[in-house]
Amino acid sequence: MTAPDPNETAVTVGCIGLGNMGAPMATRLLDWPGGLVVCDARAEAVEPFVTAGARAAATPAAVAAQATVISVTVLDDAQVRDVVAGPDGILATAGPGTVVAVHSTISDTTAVELAAICRGAGVHLIDAPISGGAPGARQGRLAVMVGGSDEAFAAVSGPFGRFAELVVHAGDVGAGTRMKLARNLLHFISFTAATEAQRLAEAAGLDLRVLGKVVRHTDAITGGAGAIMLRETTAPVAESDPWFSILSHVRNLGEKDLALALDLGDRQGVDLPLATRALTGLGPGLGVGTGTIAASATTEEHA
């Protein structure tokens, strides 16, 4: 058996908020060498953790009196503000060097503001939003995007490794939230595109559940939309750049398939605004300009 890391043994972790995300995250910290302190407004949420060996705290201040790394997973900006700086908040008792990690998806400006308040007390606040949902939390496979100092990032890497498969340092405070918002923009626009695809498939007499099965299967192989997110910039790609031929190929395939889908939509009487936008926006978005199919479509529109 591997001996506990002395650094981990010296650090008590606190978890505030034991909801759909916070509870499975905290569960994976129950055997943390330095101990776990939990807090939630609902006694029934705390009880299983106490039974499993964690210590209960009635308020965020009581958590901060015992823990030096504190994960906050609550609902929104208002709750985060109260947990951190309210009358019974973390700052009422937190000692210098305490690291407060806000996992809730809040405004990046709120994170920056609260970090400045905490800094005055010698406390590090980092924004550390999570991606992967409750299943990812239960499996220890979350992605965490951290905005904060190098020192704070180092302090949370161990505990976060218990519930996350990927922990990235996005930059200074606020950067974690900005990365999460960019990630979720893609997520929900993709969901909107999925609803458009379902309308087309339904009009064409297809089984939507089978279509969903195909989409999930192939996205697991290709990586879905994230498969193209490999460059360091969104600037136009020079023709001499090795990426040009790769991304031009993606554009040409995309334009061909989008044009065919739009033709099917026309014949089925289904409006496909996202597909229409994608036909002319894919190539420029990839940095390689419009291809011949999109250029022809644009010419026809203006004829």
Q: What is the mean pLDDT of residues 179-205?
A: 95
Cβ-based neighbours of 256, under 8 Å, separated by 6 or more: 293
pLDDT at 196 over 70: yes
How do the domains of the chain map onto residue ranges?
Answer: 6-179, 230-303
Per residue in 41-97, pLDDT (tens digit) is 999 999 999 999 999 999 999 999 999 999 999 999 999 999 999 999 999 999 999
Domain 230-303: what homologous superfamily? N-(1-d-carboxylethyl)-l-norvaline Dehydrogenase; domain 2 (1.10.1040.10)
Cα separation, 245 vs 208, whole angstroms: 34
Other beta carbons less than 10 A from residue 142's beta carbon: 25
User: DSSP string covering 26-84, please?
Assistant: HHTTTT-TT-EEEE-S-HHHHHHHHHTTPEE-SSHHHHHTT-SEEEE--SSHHHHHHHH
pLDDT at 3 over 60: no
Query: pLDDT of 176-190, one tens digit each?
Result: 999 999 999 999 999
Place 1 in a pLDDT band, splitting at 50, 70 and 90: very low
pLDDT surpassing 90 at residue 175: yes
Residue pLDDT, tens place only, 233-267: 999 999 999 999 999 999 999 999 999 999 999 99
Q: Give CA–CA dist 71/131, Å, rounded.
A: 15
Give the CA count within 13 Å in the CB-facing half-sphere of 96.
3
Assess contact for 45 and 73: CB atoms under 8 A: no
- Does pLDDT of 2 surpass 90? no
* Residue owning tokens 């499975």: 24
Residues with catalytic function:
180
How high is the pLDDT of residue 302? 58
Percent of the chain scoring above 70 in pLDDT: 95
Q: Which pLDDT band holds residue 31 (cuts at 50, 70, 90)? A: very high
Give CATH superfamily name and number for 6-179. NAD(P)-binding Rossmann-like Domain (3.40.50.720)
Mean pLDDT of the chain: 94
Fold match between domain 6-179 and domain 230-303:
no
The neighbour count for residue 155, using CB atoms within 10 Å, is: 22
3-state secondary structure of 270: coil
From 2-6, 148-152, 274-278, the region with the lowest mean pLDDT = 2-6
Q: Token pair of 292, please?
A: 């011949």
Give the model's pLDDT for residue 10. Answer: 77
Predicted TM-score (pTM) of this structure = 0.87
Q: What is the pLDDT of residue 300?
A: 67
pLDDT given for residue 296 in this prediction: 86
Instruction: Give the pLDDT score at 7.
Output: 58
- Given a contact cutoff of 8 angstroms between Cβ atoms, the answer to whether 83 and 75 are in contact is no
